[in-house]
C-alpha cells in the first residue's frame, strides 16, 4: 500500500471517529477505488454507510469484504448487525453463526470484536424480547454476558427477561449483582423492586424505591411505582 493511500485511510478513520462521517466516507470511497482488493477498506466503508442509515450500501460493502476474505470475522459480525437493523433476522443469525464458527476455529477475537459480538447478542436478545420469545432472549443475553460479564445493561436486560418469565428469584439474583456494582443504576433498581413486588414482597420493593428516591427525588417512574405499591399494600 502506497503512503498516500495509507494516509487517506488513516485520515478517513480519524474523521469517522470524530463523528464527521460524510467527510470520512468521501475519503474511504476514494481509497476503495484506488485499492479495490483490500477487504479492510470495504469493511470500513460498510461501517460508514451503516452509520448513515444506508443499509443496502453497507451490506454490499461488507459482502465485498467477505468476497475478498471469506474468513473475515469482523465483516461477518458487521453484516449480521446491519441485517438485524434492517429486520432481516434470519440473515442476521446466519452471518453471526458464521462469525462464531470462525472464532471457534481461529480463537483470535480482539477486545473490540468481543464488544461487538456481545452487542450482537444483545440486539438479537432485544428482538426476541420484543416478540415475547423470552427463552430465546434469555439465551442471547446469557451468551452476551459470557463474552462481556461486565456489561451491566445486558445483565439488567437478563433480569427483566426473568421477570417476564415469572422467574423472580433468578431476576433478583441478576439485578442485585448490577446494583451491587453500581448502587445508583436506577433502571436496575426499579426492575429489582418490580421483581420483589411480583414475588409478593412489597415491603422490600417499597424500601428499594424509597432508597432510590433518596438520590433521584425527581424520577417520576420511581415515584409512580412507589405510590402504586403503597396504595395496594394499604388496601
Is the pLDDT at 19 greater than 90? The verdict is no
Quick one: average pLDDT of 25-38? 91
CA distance 183 to 202: 20
Q: pTM to 2 decimals? A: 0.61
- Domains of the chain (ranges, CATH numbers): 1-108 (1.25.40.10), 140-235 (1.25.40.10)
Contacts of 98 (CB under 8 A, 6+ apart): 76
**82-92 per-position pLDDT tens digit:** 888 888 877 88
Nearest to 35 by CA among 57, 17, 60, 8: 8
CA distance 72 to 92: 16
**Confidence at residue 113, expressed as pLDDT on a 0 to 100 scale:** 67
**Confidence at residue 104, expressed as pLDDT on a 0 to 100 scale:** 64
**168-227 per-position pLDDT tens digit:** 999 999 999 999 999 999 999 999 999 999 998 988 999 998 999 888 888 888 888 887
* The three grid cell numbers given for residue 121, joined into one nine-digit string: 447478542
**101-118 per-position pLDDT tens digit:** 776 655 555 666 677 778
Amino acid at each position: 500500500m502506497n503512503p498516500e493511500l495509507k494516509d487517506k485511510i488513516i485520515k478517513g478513520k480519524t474523521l469517522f471517529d470524530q463523528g464527521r462521517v460524510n467527510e470520512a466516507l468521501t475519503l474511504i470511497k476514494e481509497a476503495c477505488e484506488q485499492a479495490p482488493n483490500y477487504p479492510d477498506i470495504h469493511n470500513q466503508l460498510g461501517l460508514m454507510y451503516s452509520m448513515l442509515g444506508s443499509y443496502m450500501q453497507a451490506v454490499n460493502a461488507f459482502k465485498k469484504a467477505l468476497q475478498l476474505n471469506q474468513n473475515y470475522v469482523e465483516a461477518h459480525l458487521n453484516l449480521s448487525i446491519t441485517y438485524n437493523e434492517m429486520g432481516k433476522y434470519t440473515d442476521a443469525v446466519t452471518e453471526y453463526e458464521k462469525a462464531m464458527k470462525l472464532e471457534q476455529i481461529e480463537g483470535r477475537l480482539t477486545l473490540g470484536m468481543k464488544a461487538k459480538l456481545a452487542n450482537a447478542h444483545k440486539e438479537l436478545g432485544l428482538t426476541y424480547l420484543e416478540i415475547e420469545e423470552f427463552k430465546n432472549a434469555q439465551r442471547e443475553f446469557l451468551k452476551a454476558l459470557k463474552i462481556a460479564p461486565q456489561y451491566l445493561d445486558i445483565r439488567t436486560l437478563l433480569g427483566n427477561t426473568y421477570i417476564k418469565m415469572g422467574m423472580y428469584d433468578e431476576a433478583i439474583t441478576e439485578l442485585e449483582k448490577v446494583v451491587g456494582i453500581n448502587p445508583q443504576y436506577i433502571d436496575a433498581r426499579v426492575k429489582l423492586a418490580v421483581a420483589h413486588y411480583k414475588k409478593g414482597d412489597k415491603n422490600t420493593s417499597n424500601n428499594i424505591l424509597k432508597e432510590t428516591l433518596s438520590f433521584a427525588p425527581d424520577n417520576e417512574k420511581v415515584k409512580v411505582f412507589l405510590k402504586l405499591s403503597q396504595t395496594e399494600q394499604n388496601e
